[in-house]
Amino acid sequence: MAFEGELLALLPRLRRFAAGLSRNAADGDDLCQAALERALKSRHLWAEGTRLDSWMYRIMRNIWIDEARARQRRAKTFAPEEEGENAPDPGDRRIEAAVELSDVARAMARLPDEQREVIALVLVEGFAYREAADILDIPIGTLTSRLVRGRNALLVELGEAA
Amino acid sequence: MKITDEMLVAFADGELDPEVHAHVERAIAADPELGRKVEAHRRLRQTLTHHFGPIADEPVPEHLKALLTGQDLAAPATVVSLAGVRARRVEEAEAKRRWRPGWGIAAAMAASLVLGLAVGQNMGGSGPVAISGGTIVAQGELAKALDRQLASAQAMGLPTRIGLSFRSKEGSICRTFAGQAMSGIACEEDGRWRLEQILSGGRKATDYRQASAADPRLAAAVEDMIAGVPFDAEAERAARDADWRQ
């Protein structure tokens, strides 16, 4: 149970990451659940003695990316049936989104996935650049340039640009 | 050495090696503009920490805990896909959306129901609403949240969340809110918050999912009432500093 126990201790942080990642915060716990299930299934792949948190963040992020790709494919394949007369107009959707999200959440949601995940890992989860780059499996130069772009976009969006 | 954005950001994050760090420090001392940028980046980290932090302090939902404590033996052995879980939620959301055409009547019904509950329980008490001069107004914690809370700077986990602030076609400033017992729209009127729309069942305080679930009916009502566009962070702050008066 040591493995489960450690995951249990990580859960609050995983939920926070999931909420940051999934744009629509409502999906955060679904993402969390999917990540836990995958982790339990592939626990033999975790090398004991390595950081479980980094491993879990990686799993969660990969599920999220897979899902985002699948969603894009679906969107290209067929238009949802809602796009008939009952579909809300875009202005309606905008207001709906605005009612739902605070400014910070909205600004985060507008970032491209690749910038949002970097922001979530470094600024919210507090990982060092090197650790975050390892989790995302990208070179550190790529990480820093995404971080700078993401940060600047957030500053503009939140009206805090210096 | 030219000071790049990358360097400033890494400086703010404490990620530079000592030599470059010292260099950037000197550059900042010579150029206040650089210092302001670094400050903005540091504030941004605080803003995000403040925003997402409370999620990690919330109690973890039981169904997630159960996955790890082995109390979930009855669960199906197949992995529930994220898409599957999500499909269920989309269905629920669409069902809600289909409510919209009946908004007027439904809202009136919902409102009277909530009012019956809220006012009935809180006659002369400290509930979120009171009847004053034939008008339903916010009081207590709800009134305080409407008075003070900025959507641009609110932590998760507060009892009441403020959504949008906007000017209505009648000229008053209105704000959407979601609290524990109800969500709705309140408009400033003579120093009080008159409740324009009320929907029962805002959210449960501990349920993060509920906390952000916008009610499409509320959005539709905003659309009917709004003149122009919702306030941005700056306009919201300015309106608060002017006590929400025109």
CB-CB: which of A29, A99, A101 is closest to B209? A29
Asked if residue B132 lies in contact with residue B192, where contact means CB atoms within 8 angstroms, the answer is yes
**Residue B150 CA: distances (Å) to CA of A159, B30, B109, B141:** 14, 35, 30, 14
Q: Is B90 on the interface with A (CB under 8 A)?
A: no
pLDDT of residue A1 exceeding 60, the answer is no
In the block, tokens 């009206």 appear at: A159
Best of A99, A147, A157 to disrupt the B interface by mutation (most B CBs within 10 Å)?
A99
- Cβ-in-10-Å burial (0-12, 13-18, 19+) of A54 comes to middle
A74 or B8, greater pLDDT: B8
ipTM tops 0.90? no
Cβ of B89 within 8 Å of Cβ of A27? The answer is: yes
How many contacts does A have with B, using Cβ atoms within 8 A?
Answer: 186
Quick: pLDDT tens for B49-92: 999 988 888 888 888 888 888 754 444 444 455 666 666 666 66
The B129-132 sheet, strands edge to edge: B129-132, B135-138, B192-200, B182-189, B173-178, B161-167
| Element (DSSP H or E) covering residue B193 | strand B192-200
Q: Give the distance from CA B170 to its chain's centroid.
A: 25
A82: nearest CA in chain B? B94
Q: How far is B147 from chain A (nearest CA, A)?
A: 17
The contacts of residue B3 (CB under 8 Å, 6+ apart) are B24, B27, B34
Cβ within 8 Å of residue B2, ≥6 positions away: none
Residues 6+ apart with CB under 8 A from B136: B115, B119, B129, B130, B194, B195, B198
Catalogue the E-assigned strands of B55-181. 129-132, 135-138, 161-167, 173-178
B214 touches chain A (CB under 8 A): yes
Judge whether A19 and B52 are in contact, CB under 8 Å.
yes
Neighbours of B75 (CB within 10 A): 12
The count of other CB atoms within 10 Å of the CB of residue B145 is 22
- Chain B: residue nearest A102 by CA? B151
CA–CA dist B201, B218 (Å, integer): 13
Contact, A136 vs A117, CB < 8 A?
yes
Q: Do B9 and A145 touch (CB under 8 A)?
A: no
Say yes or no for a CB contact (<8 Å) between B83 and A70: yes
User: In angstroms, what CA-CA distances link A20 with A15, A64, A123, A124, B15?
Assistant: 9, 11, 11, 8, 23
The confidence score (pLDDT) of residue A79 equals 46
**Binary contact (B64, A92; C-beta < 8 A):** no
pLDDT tens digits, one per residue of B171-184: 899 998 887 778 88
Note whether A28 contacts B208, CB cutoff 8 Å.
yes
Q: Residue B127 in contact with residue B119, Cβ under 8 Å?
A: yes
- Put simply, the answer to whether B219 touches A7 (Cβ < 8 Å) is no
Is the distance from CB of B199 to CB of B110 less than 8 angstroms? yes
d(CA B160, CA B152): 14
- What does the alpha-carbon distance between residue A56 and residue A10 come to, in Å, rounded to a whole number? 9
| B82: contact with A, CB 8 A cutoff | yes
Asked if the model's pLDDT at residue A99 lies above 90, the reply is no
- Contact between B177 and A66 (Cβ < 8 Å): no
Minimum mean pLDDT range among A98-107, B48-57, B137-146? A98-107
Question: What are the φ and ψ backbone dihedral angles of B228, each rounded to 5 degrees?
Answer: 80, -140
* Between A29 and B43, the higher pLDDT residue: B43
What is the C-alpha separation between A153 and A115, in angstroms, rounded? 10
> SS3 letters for chain A?
CHHHHHHHHHHHHHHHHHHHHCCCHHHHHHHHHHHHHHHHHCHHHCCCCCCHHHHHHHHHHHHHHHHHHHHHHHHHHCCCHHHCCCCCCHHHHHHHHHHHCCHHHHHHHHCCHHHHHHHHHHHHCCCCHHHHHHHHCCCHHHHHHHHHHHHHHHHHHCCCCC
Q: Rank A34-38, A73-77, B124-128, B218-222 by mean pLDDT and report only the highest.
A: A34-38
A60 CB within 8 Å of a chain B CB: no
pLDDT in tens, A106-159: 899 889 999 999 999 999 999 999 999 999 999 999 999 999 999 999 999 988
Rounded CA separation B135/B177 (Å):
18
* Number of other CB atoms surrounding residue B14 within 10 Å: 8
Using CB atoms, pick whichever of B43, B60, B153 lies closest to residue A12: B60
Examine the pLDDT at B108 and tell me if it is beyond 60: no
Rounded distance between C-alpha atoms, residue A148 and residue B7, angstroms: 9
B44 and A158 within 8 Å at the Cβ level: the answer is yes
pLDDT tens for B215-245 read 667 777 888 888 888 888 888 989 999 889 8
Q: Is A27 near chain B, with CB under 8 Å?
A: yes
